[in-house]
Amino acid sequence: MKDLIFATANLNKIKEIRAILDGQFNILGLDSIGCTEDIPETQPTIEGNALQKAQYVVDHYGVDCFAEDTGLEIDALDGEPGVYSARYAGPERSSEANIRLALKKLADKENRGAQFKTVIALIQEGQTLTFEGIVRGRIISEKRGTGGFGYDPVFVPDGYQQTFAEMDADTKNKISHRARAVAKLKEYLLNS
């Protein structure tokens, strides 16, 4: 089984990616290479941040890796929080505060349409590739569910009645934005 370094310290994301890849690759986090610093995310786009994180690991640790960045883009808020999703309510990265702020800004809006977008950047043997996954849905007015993380308790994907936080992990890992991006990554890795 091939080792793949995932440029994240987020244990939720590592667990989710491992589940989606179904044991076909050994996914290792930044701790496996001794990286404990906060990798910069200073780009103006989700794709830019994913590329920046992957390149940082290659430049500082000399290992091939993949990185991802994900954002929630709310139609009525002109794509906010987007690239700032994790820090929407401030640098402390509080999911609770981020959700409260998003719901407050949406309070008088009829259009609740939104999408989650994930971009994975893979740097392997000097080649850089990106893989994108998007899932459309809507933002509900109150949190529901205890699973998932981030904005999952207020996001209902199109075609479903449950929020991501109400779904079991298997269901979410089949339809999510991250699952869609990872499926493209997996297809590439298995065929390259």
Residue 52: the pLDDT is 97
Please state, in angstroms and rounded to a whole number, the distance separating the CA atoms of residues 105 and 100.
9
Residue-level length of the chain:
192
Domain boundaries, the chain: 2-191
Q: Which helix (H) or strand (E) holds 18?
A: helix 11-21
Residue 10: the pLDDT is 86
**Cα dihedral 145, 150, 155, 156 in deg (nearest 10):** -60
Characterize the bridge pairing of strands 25-28 and 127-139: unpaired
> Residues in the chain with pLDDT < 70?
1
Collapsed DSSP state (helix, strand, coil) of residue 28: strand
Residue 55: the pLDDT is 97
pTM of the model: 0.91
| Residue 122 DSSP symbol | E
Q: In the beta sheet, which residues pair with residue 5? A: 28
Find the catalytic residue in 3, 69, 152, 158. Answer: 69
Characterize the bridge pairing of strands 25-28 and 2-5: parallel
| Residue 69 annotated in active site | yes
Residue 13: the pLDDT is 86
Residue 1: the pLDDT is 67
Pick the CATH number of 2-191 from 3.90.1150.10, 3.90.950.10, 3.40.50.300, 3.40.30.10: 3.90.950.10
